[in-house]
């Protein structure tokens, strides 16, 4: 080399070594240097140690097992990074000391650019194990050594360090063993690579488990995972709560210890490769009450075999689903007492009682003519007490008699032909946690009244076709325009139900008895309508004002609202005059059909057919059964009333 000959032409030098010598010479490495002392500065070295922490700790822990062997055979073992910086040195004290003399110690940079050809430099360059006998090293100080180096690769195949075993060549008697040292260092390198991989996988798994556990603990549904033998792997917080057990106590226990036979059967079927279970309605006992759940069971598949490795079981409170359905289905109360307009003594008295009783869970009966604001009151009462719960309204007058029962109580799967396959919760179940508004309670069929009474007394409901009870917690606000007490006398309303509902009876006065409320409401509606149709709010002329106040308003607030819609739309030049009012106000007569429940038999029949059609989803056989008609008659009536299927 000192005579600038090309070492590649020599037959006794390996080409890889020859090329490395040329690179070393090009880097102006001094082969005669006495120590290798190119140190990384302490700050950079400490940053490097931090960065390589996992590699250093794993290697150090692993080579600890071989320290006796290293000491006995005078080997020195080094770990370098991918640039040749020494990170770790292990071996007998004597060896460590003698190598330290030529600066082989942590933080020294033994790169090809600085110290020329070495075993680990070649190993980094070629990404493969290398054994180098003394004179092949570029620097003279290393020429007594024999070293074997292996690269340590990460998962992407990049070199992250090298493991080197070095020995003084001087000890001739141990030279034979050197052939083994390469194999030894290679297997150690592999072992360290695998340890790093496993550690990384374990770390990722721990993180994944942590994320999963945290996620499951936030889910407000009970989730239980079981293995294929039926042992519980995991149960989330809600699951443990549902079954009333501490979560850590159940891991490893058989799920059959927790669940009921019907639930066990479903899970067992899924574990044997059966179909997943979707929304199976079931109950779980909790503190002496049976609570309703939808149960779902899904198999855990490994993507290769069809046979499940386990199952995930999910329990969702039906109540939550019902509440969601009720909410999405518009079962919300929009109005509060703030929305009730009026300052008349009659209205103020009603509001005072309603506000007072409304805050408590008592049932309330609202009594007043149609359109006086009974539903408005019911919503305001609901919002006082349980605004977050559902507000479920049912009008007993407009619902076909034979549907009221299933609407109220719900029905079980297969309760009658045409019933939905999975059964359906009734309005009472849907009102759980909120308010059930029974409008026109006087029209509740007498035969259903005792069942309703039982529900109110026992706070539990049994669906049609079922034989188990579902606990329900709701408040009834009933409304009627009829004299219920008189109906009790006439035996068309049950006395016991009447007394149950009428402890707090609130009369809602008709508009004609509410004095100044009439004009307050008229102005309120005029403003609202003008805003809606985007016009200037019109004034009321003194003559029109007089007509509005003096009219007896048989249709109450609803009629007043309609009259104002008419007037605002007719008004010109920002003024409502007499001529802009509806005829019945001008000529002071009660309009026809003021009571929306006074319908002709034909209209009633038409309504019943339409309701049955919607209810049975166009199933004519079922419609005919509900309506008590022959199918031919039903078809004739459909034609006669020109009712089309939806």
Ligand X SMILES: Nc1ncnc2c1ncn2[C@@H]1O[C@H](COP(=O)(O)OP(=O)(O)OP(=O)(O)O)[C@@H](O)[C@H]1O
Taking CB under 6 A as the criterion, which residues in 321-340 touch ligand X? 340
- The residue from 372, 383, 502, 616 that contacts ligand X (CB under 6 A) is 372
Is the Cβ of residue 377 or residue 615 nearer to ligand X in the bound state? 377
The mark string for 130-169 relative to ligand X (x by CB under 6 A, - otherwise) is ----------------------------------------
CB 617 → ligand X: shortest distance, Å?
Answer: 27
Distance separating alpha carbons of residues 150 and 136, to the nearest angstrom: 17
Write the CA distances from 282 to 264, 285, 291, 293, 440, integer angstroms.
12, 10, 8, 5, 34
Is the Cβ of residue 472 or residue 522 nearer to ligand X in the bound state? 522
* Residue facing ligand X at closest CB distance: 373
481 binds ligand X (CB under 6 A): yes
List own/partner pairs for 323-327 with CB under 8 A and 24 or more apart.
Answer: 323/389, 323/390, 323/430, 323/432, 323/433, 323/434, 325/430, 326/390, 326/392, 326/430, 326/431, 326/434, 327/390
Window of 138-146, 164-172, 296-304, 364-372 that interacts with ligand X by CB under 6 A: 364-372
Backbone angles phi and psi of 637, in degrees to 5: -70, -35
Window of 20-28, 32-40, 371-379, 483-491 that interacts with ligand X by CB under 6 A: 371-379
Is the Cβ of residue 376 or residue 585 nearer to ligand X in the bound state? 376
Distance separating alpha carbons of residues 628 and 637, to the nearest angstrom: 13
The mark string for 96-125 relative to ligand X (x by CB under 6 A, - otherwise) is ------------------------------
Distance separating alpha carbons of residues 337 and 383, to the nearest angstrom: 9
Is the Cβ of residue 146 or residue 557 nearer to ligand X in the bound state? 557
- The residue from 52, 314, 323, 374 that contacts ligand X (CB under 6 A) is 374
Contact criterion met (CB below 8 Å) for 466 and 424: no
Taking CB under 6 A as the criterion, which residues in 517-576 touch ligand X? 521, 557-558, 561
CB 428 → ligand X: shortest distance, Å?
Answer: 20
In 3D space, the residue among 205, 165, 170 whose CA is nearest the CA of residue 189 turns out to be: 165
How do 435-439 and 391-395 pair as beta strands? Answer: parallel
Distance separating alpha carbons of residues 456 and 365, to the nearest angstrom: 14
Backbone angles phi and psi of 374, in degrees to 5: -65, -45
- The residue from 31, 342, 410, 433 that contacts ligand X (CB under 6 A) is 342
Burial of 52 by CB count in 10 Å (0-12 exposed, 13-18 middle, 19+ buried)?
buried
CB 521 → ligand X: shortest distance, Å?
Answer: 6
Distance separating alpha carbons of residues 638 and 643, to the nearest angstrom: 5
Is the Cβ of residue 373 or residue 389 nearer to ligand X in the bound state? 373
CB 548 → ligand X: shortest distance, Å?
Answer: 15
Distance separating alpha carbons of residues 420 and 431, to the nearest angstrom: 20
In 3D space, the residue among 389, 454, 455 whose CA is nearest the CA of residue 428 turns out to be: 455
CB 347 → ligand X: shortest distance, Å?
Answer: 7
Is the Cβ of residue 372 or residue 432 nearer to ligand X in the bound state? 372
Contact criterion met (CB below 8 Å) for 194 and 173: no
Site size toward ligand X, by CB under 6 A:
18
Window of 187-195, 367-375, 417-425, 460-468 that interacts with ligand X by CB under 6 A: 367-375
CB 561 → ligand X: shortest distance, Å?
Answer: 6
Is the Cβ of residue 320 or residue 524 nearer to ligand X in the bound state? 524
Is the Cβ of residue 31 or residue 510 nearer to ligand X in the bound state? 510
Which residues lie closer than 8 Å to 26 by C-beta, 6 or more apart?
Answer: none
129 binds ligand X (CB under 6 A): no
- The residue from 20, 80, 131, 370 that contacts ligand X (CB under 6 A) is 370
Distance separating alpha carbons of residues 606 and 612, to the nearest angstrom: 10
SS3 category, 515: coil
Taking CB under 6 A as the criterion, which residues in 431-450 touch ligand X? 439
CB 393 → ligand X: shortest distance, Å?
Answer: 9
Is the Cβ of residue 189 or residue 342 nearer to ligand X in the bound state? 342
373 binds ligand X (CB under 6 A): yes
Burial of 137 by CB count in 10 Å (0-12 exposed, 13-18 middle, 19+ buried)?
buried
- The residue from 313, 376, 544, 548 that contacts ligand X (CB under 6 A) is 376
Distance separating alpha carbons of residues 94 and 160, to the nearest angstrom: 29
Burial of 511 by CB count in 10 Å (0-12 exposed, 13-18 middle, 19+ buried)?
buried
- The residue from 375, 405, 429, 622 that contacts ligand X (CB under 6 A) is 375
CB 597 → ligand X: shortest distance, Å?
Answer: 8
Taking CB under 6 A as the criterion, which residues in 460-479 touch ligand X? 479
Applying CB under 6 A, the residues found at the interface with ligand X are: 340-342, 368, 370-376, 439, 479, 481, 521, 557-558, 561
């Amino acid at each position: 080399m000192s005579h600038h000959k090309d070492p590649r032409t020599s037959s006794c030098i390996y080409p890889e070594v020859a090329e490395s010598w040329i690179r070393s010479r090009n880097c102006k490495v001094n082969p005669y240097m006495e120590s290798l002392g190119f140190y990384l500065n302490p700050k950079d070295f400490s940053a490097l140690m931090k960065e390589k922490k996992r590699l250093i700790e794993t290697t150090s822990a692993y080579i600890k097992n071989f320290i006796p062997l290293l000491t006995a055979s005078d080997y020195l073992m080094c770990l370098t990074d991918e640039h040749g910086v020494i990170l770790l040195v292990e071996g007998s004290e004597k060896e460590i000391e003698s190598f330290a003399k030529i600066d082989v110690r942590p933080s020294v940079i033994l790169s090809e650019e600085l110290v020329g050809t070495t075993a680990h430099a070649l190993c980094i360059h070629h990404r493969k194990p290398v054994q180098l006998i003394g004179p092949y090293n570029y620097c003279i100080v290393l020429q007594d050594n024999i070293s074997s180096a292996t690269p340590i690769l990460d998962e992407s195949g990049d070199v992250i360090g090298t493991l080197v075993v070095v020995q003084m060549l001087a000890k001739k008697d141990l030279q034979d063993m050197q052939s083994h040292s390469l194999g030894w260092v290679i297997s150690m390198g592999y072992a360290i690579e695998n340890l790093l991989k496993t550690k990384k996988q374990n770390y990722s798994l721990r993180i994944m488990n942590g994320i999963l556990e945290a996620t499951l603990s936030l889910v407000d549904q009970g989730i239980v995972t079981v293995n294929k033998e039926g042992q519980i792997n995991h149960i989330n917080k809600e699951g443990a709560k549902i079954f009333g057990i501490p979560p850590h106590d159940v891991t490893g226990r058989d799920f059959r210890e927790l669940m009921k036979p019907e639930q066990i059967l479903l899970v067992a079927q899924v574990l044997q490769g059966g179909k997943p279970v979707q929304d199976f309605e079931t109950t779980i006992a909790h503190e002496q009450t049976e609570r309703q759940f939808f149960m779902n069971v899904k198999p855990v598949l490994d993507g290769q075999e069809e046979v499940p490795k386990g199952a995930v079981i999910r329990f969702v409170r039906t109540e939550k689903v019902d509440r969601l359905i009720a909410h999405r289905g518009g079962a919300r109360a929009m109005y509060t007492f703030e929305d009730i307009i009026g300052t008349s003594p009659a209205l103020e008295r009603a509001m005072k009682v309603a506000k007072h009783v409304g805050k408590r869970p008592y049932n309330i009966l609202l009594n007043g003519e149609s359109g006086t604001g009974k539903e408005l009151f019911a919503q305001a009462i609901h919002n006082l007490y349980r605004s977050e719960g559902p507000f479920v309204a049912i009008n007993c007058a407009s619902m076909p008699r034979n549907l009221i029962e299933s609407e109220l109580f719900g029905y079980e799967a297969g309760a009658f032909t045409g019933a939905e396959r999975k059964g359906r919760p009734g309005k009472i179940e849907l009102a759980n946690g909120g308010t059930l508004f029974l409008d026109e309670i006087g029209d509740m069929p007498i035969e259903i009244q005792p069942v309703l009474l039982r529900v109110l007394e026992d706070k539990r409901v049994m669906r049609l076709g079922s034989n188990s009870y579902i606990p329900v917690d709701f408040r009834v606000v009933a409304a009627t325009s009829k004299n219920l007490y008189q109906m009790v006398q006439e035996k068309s309303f049950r006395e016991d139900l009447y007394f149950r509902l009428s402890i707090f009876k609130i009369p809602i006065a008709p508009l004609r008895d509410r004095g100044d409320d009439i004009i307050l409401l008229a102005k309120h509606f005029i403003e609202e309508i003008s805003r809606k149709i985007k016009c200037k709010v019109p004034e009321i002329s003194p003559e029109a004002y007089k007509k509005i106040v003096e009219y007896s308003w048989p249709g109450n607030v609803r009629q007043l609202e309609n009259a104002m819609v008419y007037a605002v739309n007719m008004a010109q030049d920002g003024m409502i005059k007499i001529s802009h009012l509806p005829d019945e106000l001008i000529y002071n007569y009660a309009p026809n059909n003021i009571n929306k429940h006074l319908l002709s038999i034909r209209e009633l029949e038409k309504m019943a057919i339409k309701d049955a059609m919607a209810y049975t989803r166009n199933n004519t056989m079922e419609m005919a059964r509900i309506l008590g008609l022959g199918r031919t008659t039903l078809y004739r009536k459909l034609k006669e009333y020109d009712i089309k299927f939806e």
